[in-house]
């Protein structure tokens, strides 16, 4: 099949949730490279929305997944699962969490976090303490409860009424958060670095005061690290940059290297509220997904990819700052490690994304005016130099 035929099939049989997609279809990947069905080579600076942190088709990862597929894939959570117990141990040993629950998507991990927070107070006899505060411009998923927590009206409005009990305050506005933190609030959820809305970094002071507020008011602090977690920001978990620990944090995107898996990780004092029958999942944490997760974690830790992301990220930011000096259309950069937003002063992000694609580079857009870079954490300086050169050329030709 050629691209035209694939597009026709898609238009006829797939729900139009994604509209006109970028006009390319891939068939093979290796490291930061992807090849389309017509043989064109691309450098992937989007990483499937921060999923392919270890790169495409990492040989050790492929070997581990193949081995697991050859043994068996699934059995259900009615039985003990070695790969699941091992992945839970790795996450606990490397984080502030005491226990873990596995789901299949970021939304599910956040749902688990909300359920656990409400359960925690209900089991203490405080069933009226169920409110959840979230931040404007946040993104927490597409299910009804995670939409209720997502601070962007365009996603929420078409599906109202949503799960009740959620309210919003502005990011980095501690006074507003404090005013919203009434005794009926059981949890605050936030992304330490907001991804979907354009790579917005929380202030250190804001997160530290939020932690203190949660302690004072007996509120569970949930960090959604679905996008910013697992090395992306230059530390294994984004919360490590802030000198605060969440009570619950969620992971997903890069955890399975592309095999669907997510995790809701909680401190022991919260996790104990989960009893048999309270929660479950058919696929969540199955042997294949956890074998993939174990392989990803092994590579992340053994190759020191969080540290590498910090160092390479610094280089990347430096290069983008250089572009800013040359091109008036760039107003600045935002982010941490290899979670980077290039802020434009014109609404040309979508157009620029397409021009990058035509030059052989995959990048993301967030909103109208932010280009988003989420490359594999293994990205080299040479790869970055190539992207910068291409961007420089595009900006010179189109926007100067």
Assess 105 for contact with ligand PLP (CB under 6 A). yes
Nearest residue to ligand PLP by CB is 106
Please, what's the largest Cα pairwise distance for the chain?
Answer: 65
Assess 103 for contact with ligand PLP (CB under 6 A). no
Of 44, 111, 137, 224, the residue at the interface with ligand PLP (CB under 6 A) is: 224
3-state secondary structure of 325: helix
Total residues binding ligand PLP (CB under 6 A)? 15
Could you tell me if residue 33 is left (phi over 0), alpha (psi between -120 and 50 degrees) or otherwise beta?
A: beta
Closer residue to ligand PLP, CB minimum distance, 107 or 391: 107
Q: Alpha-carbon distance 72 to 54, whole Å?
A: 24
Site for ligand PLP in 166-205 (CB under 6 A): 191, 195-196
Site for ligand PLP in 251-270 (CB under 6 A): 252-253
Closer residue to ligand PLP, CB minimum distance, 232 or 308: 232
Assess 106 for contact with ligand PLP (CB under 6 A). yes
Q: Alpha-carbon distance 329 to 224, whole Å?
A: 32
Q: Is 346 considered catalytic here?
A: no
Main-chain dihedrals φ then ψ at residue 136, nearest 5 degrees? -60, 145
Closer residue to ligand PLP, CB minimum distance, 196 or 369: 196
Six token digits for residue 287: 């042997």
Of 45, 61, 101, 139, the residue at the interface with ligand PLP (CB under 6 A) is: 139
Q: Is 253 considered catalytic here?
A: yes
Options 221-229, 349-357, 367-375, 390-398: segment touching ligand PLP (CB under 6 A): 221-229
Assess 95 for contact with ligand PLP (CB under 6 A). no
Q: CB count, 10 Å around CB of 63? A: 11
Residue 162's Cα: distance from chain center in Å?
Answer: 23
Choosing from 253, 267, 319, 353, which is the catalytic residue?
Answer: 253
Of 118, 129, 140, 334, the residue at the interface with ligand PLP (CB under 6 A) is: 140
Closer residue to ligand PLP, CB minimum distance, 31 or 231: 231
Q: Is 139 considered catalytic here?
A: yes
**Closest alpha carbon to 340 in 47, 35, 20, 32:** 47
Strand ranges in the chain using DSSP code E only, listed in sequence order = 26-30, 33-36, 41-44, 99-103, 131-135, 166-169, 185-190, 193-194, 200-201, 220-224, 248-251, 262-266, 330-336, 339-344, 361-362, 364-366, 370-373
Choosing from 45, 101, 102, 139, which is the catalytic residue?
Answer: 139
Options 99-107, 240-248, 284-292, 314-322: segment touching ligand PLP (CB under 6 A): 99-107
Assess 335 for contact with ligand PLP (CB under 6 A). no
> Which positions are annotated as active-site residues?
139, 224, 253
């Amino acid at each position: 099949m050629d691209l035209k035929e694939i597009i026709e099939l898609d238009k006829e049989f797939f729900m139009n949730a994604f509209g006109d997609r970028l006009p390319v279809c891939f068939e093979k990947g290796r490291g930061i490279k992807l090849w389309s069905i017509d043989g064109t080579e691309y450098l992937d600076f989007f990483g499937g929305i921060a999923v392919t942190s270890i790169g495409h088709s990492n040989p050790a990862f492929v070997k581990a997944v193949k081995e697991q597929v050859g043994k068996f894939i699934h059995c259900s959570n009615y039985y003990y699962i070695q790969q699941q117990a091992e992945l839970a141990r790795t996450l606990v040993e490397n984080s502030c969490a005491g226990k873990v629950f596995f789901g299949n998507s970021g939304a599910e991990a956040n749902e688990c976090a909300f359920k656990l927070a409400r359960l925690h107070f209900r089991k203490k006899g405080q069933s009226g303490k169920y409110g959840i505060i979230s931040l404007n411009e946040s993104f927490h998923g597409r299910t009804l409860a995670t939409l209720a927590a997502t601070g962007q009206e365009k996603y929420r409005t078409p599906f109202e009424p949503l799960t009740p009990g959620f309210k919003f305050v502005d990011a980095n506005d501690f006074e507003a958060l404090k005013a919203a933190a009434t005794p009926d609030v059981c949890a605050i959820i936030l992304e330490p670095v907001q991804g979907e809305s354009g790579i917005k970094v929380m202030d250190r002071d804001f997160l530290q005061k939020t932690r203190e507020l949660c302690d004072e008011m007996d509120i569970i602090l949930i960090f959604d690290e679905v996008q910013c977690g697992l090395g992306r920001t230059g530390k294994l978990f984004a919360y490590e940059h802030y000198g605060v620990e969440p009570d619950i944090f969620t992971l997903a995107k890069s955890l399975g290297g592309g095999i669907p898996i997510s995790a809701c990780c909680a401190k022991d004092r919260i996790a104990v509220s989960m009893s048999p029958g309270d929660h479950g999942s058919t696929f969540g944490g199955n042997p294949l997904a956890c074998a993939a997760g174990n392989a990803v974690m092994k590579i992340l830790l053994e190759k020191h990819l969080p540290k590498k992301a910090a160092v390479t990220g610094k280089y990347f930011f430096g290069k983008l700052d250089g572009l800013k000096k040359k091109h008036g259309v760039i107003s600045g950069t935002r982010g941490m490690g290899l979670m980077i937003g290039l802020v434009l002063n014109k609404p040309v992000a979508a157009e620029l994304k397409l021009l990058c694609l035509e030059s052989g580079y995959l990048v993301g857009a967030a909103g109208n005016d932010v280009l988003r870079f989420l490359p594999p954490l293994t990205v080299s300086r040479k790869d970055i130099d190539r992207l910068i050169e291409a961007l420089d050329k595009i900006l010179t030709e189109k926007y100067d």
